[in-house]
Amino acid sequence: MTDVETLTFDTLTSDDIEAVLALSEEAGWTQVADDWALMMTRGYCIGFRDPSGMPIASGVALPMDESIGWVSMVLVTKAWQRKGLATKIVEKCCGWLESKGITPLLDATPDGRAVYSQMGFFDQLGITRWRRTEGSINTNASAQPARADDLTWIAKYDAAVFGAHRPAILGSLMARGPAFVAENQAGTLLGREGRGVTQIGPVSAENVGVALDLLDAGLATLSGTVTIDAYDAQEEFAREISVRGFEAQRGFTRMIRGPARVIGDTSRAFAAAGPELG
């Protein structure tokens, strides 16, 4: 039975991590338990349960700070798709953020963009996911591994570039994946291990040369499949990613609900943390 009247809207908690992991795996996404735990701890995770109590749809509203927040992880298992559940979840996530005075943003797929543009979202910028399974490695990069006490300045630098102060999220990334800093605090690269892939990002730097040095330092420590969500405006960075063996996979559009405006310093933004983390 797939009658939406039998579903129950509910908050999802850490007790549901196994179930929501199944949702993201069904969709071919790469989140792991640590990703879900971070979002559940820091944000508002909601969904619909079937009559047995099993989550069959999910969504997350994740405040970055008191000004902006991300809507993500909007997933519906196949048997319950095309019944309006995803739209309801997005609206509830936006409402929760807006009730706190927080502006919702999201990174939309092309199909999602068509829906979200009817829900008050406006285009902000383009992002392309790049992927490589092997490629050249530059072992002469000057960037150094980040230390725990670097988090203070990394969070401050990231806030100026990204447009929100998110030390808890950055601290989680520093503990889970590649983390490098440029000389003279001229940039930073973070990342995380996902399901079968390492996601690089965010990457923020004073210029493209610093960003590429950070990328090379990170790649020199990694093996296997690597992805990076690079901002389309950084054309030279994209060309150099291709030289390093990455291939473009798909695009996203960063969208903001309410009046369209630029947030942060896009001239120093080279790669995002991912559609669920901004």
Structure token pair of residue 90: 């997005």
Position 115 in a domain: no
Q: Does one domain contain both 152 and 212? A: yes
**pTM of the full structure:** 0.94
Q: Which domain holds residue 43?
A: 4-101
203 located within any domain = yes
Nearest to 52 by CA among 110, 8, 111: 8
List the structure tokens of 133.
């399974």
Residues 61 and 195 reside in one and the same domain: no
Looking up residue 220, the CATH number of its domain turns out to be: 3.40.630.90
Query: What's the confidence (pLDDT) of residue 1?
Result: 53
The domain that holds 17 is classified in CATH as 3.40.630.30
Q: pLDDT (tens digit, 9 = 90+) per residue, 19-59? A: 999 999 999 999 999 999 999 999 999 999 999 999 999 99
DSSP three-state, residue 256: strand
Task: Provide the residue count of the chain.
Answer: 278
The 10s digit of each residue's pLDDT in 163-183 is 999 999 999 999 998 999 999
Residue 57's closest CA among 93, 107, 12, 115? 12
Judge whether 120 lies within some domain: no
256/122 Cα distance (integer angstroms): 5
Residues 153, 233: one domain?
yes
Residues 170, 75 within the same domain: no
Give the domain-ending residue among 65, 85, 101. 101
DSSP annotation string for 127-187: EEEEEESS----TT---EEPPGGGHHHHHHHHHHHHSS--HHHHHHHHHHS-EEE-GGG-E
Based on the fold, state whether residues 266 and 192 are members of the same structural domain.
yes
In a domain, 119, yes or no: no
Please state, in angstroms and rounded to a whole number, the distance separating the CA atoms of residues 230 and 130.
Answer: 7
Report the alpha-carbon distance of residue 60 to residue 11 in Å, rounded. 10
Spell out, as residue ranges, where the chain has pLDDT lower than 50. none
Q: Sign of torsion, CA 123 215 160 66?
A: positive
Query: Structure tokens of 140?
Result: 């002469």
Is 30 domain-assigned? yes
- The interaxial angle of helices 167-176 and 151-162, nearest 10 deg, is 120
Say what the pLDDT of residue 179 is.
98
What is the rounded distance in angstroms from the CA atom of residue 255 to the CA atom of residue 125?
A: 7
- Number of domains into which the chain is organized: 2
The answer on 166 and 215 residing in a single domain is yes
The single-letter code of the amino acid at 30 is T
Is residue 159 in a domain?
yes
- Domain presence at residue 117: no
If asked whether residues 172 and 257 sit together in one domain, one would say yes
Question: Sign of torsion, CA 94 120 21 178?
Answer: negative
User: Do 141 and 93 fall within a single domain?
Assistant: no
- Name the token pair of 87: 């739209």
Give me the residue label for tokens 């960063």. Answer: 254
Same domain, 132 and 97: no
Asked if the structure places residue 110 within a domain, the reply is no
> Do 178 and 265 have their domain in common?
yes
Domain final residue, candidates 101, 118, 145: 101
Q: Is 86 in the same domain as 202?
A: no
Whether residue 76 is found in the same domain as residue 150:
no
Q: Give start and end residues of each alpha helix (H) in 27-166.
A: 33-42, 85-98, 110-116, 151-162
